[in-house]
């Protein structure tokens, strides 16, 4: 606006590229992120992108980091338990909304994004009263459950797609389970109706509570209260 020379297109920048990548990933999924599609969205050539980003892997990592960083904004204000739940649910919802983030996280684990999450979770573990020599392990386990469960949920969401009805899908899976071999899959058949009526978000929170309860048993005084 102020300078007429950049009236038509903003100069290319890492930030603009990452934003466009996020938009593309949201629209078309992990397979939709292409240097050709991206350069078209940015009205430039495929080669131009390499001036701001080393390669596709780094671009996916940057897009993932942008989404995760957004969910971690703001200081937590509740009890450690409530903060863990809020943190976990924030990540769960972000990965549910942007399923490609799950793949981005496992692809770039020990990079920038994971320490960000680790720090947030770890502070709550510390405030939970976990003894210091168990901080690393407990934080790792909690983070593994959060990201693992969210990733598996995202995988299901990807199969579903945005146009398939969820109830219909769960019903179909449930029916498949009921028709499994009676001897080989006796347990799975028994819980087929529980799977039909379950809620992913609720189940995720129950999982968090279960892990927290497990932590509580090693920290007498921070139990299920």
Partner DNA sequence: ACCTGAACACCGTTCAAGT
CA nearest 124: which of 95, 89, 94, 82?
82
Contact 59, 51 (CB under 8 A): no
- CA–CA separation, 223 and 225 (whole Å): 6
Burial 139-154 (b: 16+ CB within 10 A, else e): bebbbebbbebbbebb
User: What are the tokens at 160?
Assistant: 């579903």
Work out what residue 35 binds among a second copy, DNA, none; the CB cut-off runs from 5 to 8 Å by kind: DNA
Least gap, CB of 19 to DNA (angstroms): 15
Least gap, CB of 117 to a second copy (angstroms): 10
- CA–CA separation, 98 and 181 (whole Å): 36
Residues of the shown chain interacting with a second copy in the complex, contacts defined by CB under 8 A: 102, 106-107, 109-110, 115, 118-119, 122-123, 126, 132-133, 135-141, 144-145, 147-149, 151-152, 155-156, 159, 173, 177, 180, 184-188, 190-191, 194-195, 198, 203, 206-207, 209-218, 223-224
Work out what residue 36 binds among DNA, a second copy, none; the CB cut-off runs from 5 to 8 Å by kind: DNA
Verify binding: residue 159, DNA, rule CB under 7 A.
no
Verify binding: residue 188, DNA, rule CB under 7 A.
no
């Amino acid at each position: 606006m102020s300078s007429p020379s950049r009236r038509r297109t903003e100069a290319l920048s890492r930030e603009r590229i990452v934003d466009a990548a996020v938009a593309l990933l949201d629209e078309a999924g992990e397979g939709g992120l292409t240097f050709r599609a991206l350069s078209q969205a940015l009205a430039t050539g495929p080669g131009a992108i390499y001036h701001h980003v080393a390669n596709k892997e780094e671009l996916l990592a940057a897009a993932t980091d942008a989404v995760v960083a957004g969910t971690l904004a703001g200081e937590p204000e509740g009890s450690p338990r409530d903060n863990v739940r809020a943190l976990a649910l924030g990540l769960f919802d972000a990965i549910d909304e942007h399923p490609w983030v799950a793949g981005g996280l496992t692809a770039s684990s020990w990079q920038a994004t994971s320490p960000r999450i680790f720090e947030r979770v770890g502070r709550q573990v510390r405030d939970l009263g976990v003894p210091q020599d168990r901080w690393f392990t407990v934080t790792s386990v909690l983070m593994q459950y959060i990201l693992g469960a969210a990733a598996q949920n995202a995988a299901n969401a990807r199969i579903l797609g945005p146009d398939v009805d969820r109830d219909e899908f769960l019903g179909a899976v449930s029916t498949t389970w009921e028709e499994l071999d009676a001897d080989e899959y006796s347990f799975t058949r028994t819980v087929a109706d529980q799977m039909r009526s379950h809620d992913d978000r609720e189940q995720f929170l129950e999982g968090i509570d279960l892990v927290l309860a497990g932590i509580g048993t090693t920290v007498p005084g921070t139990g299920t209260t």
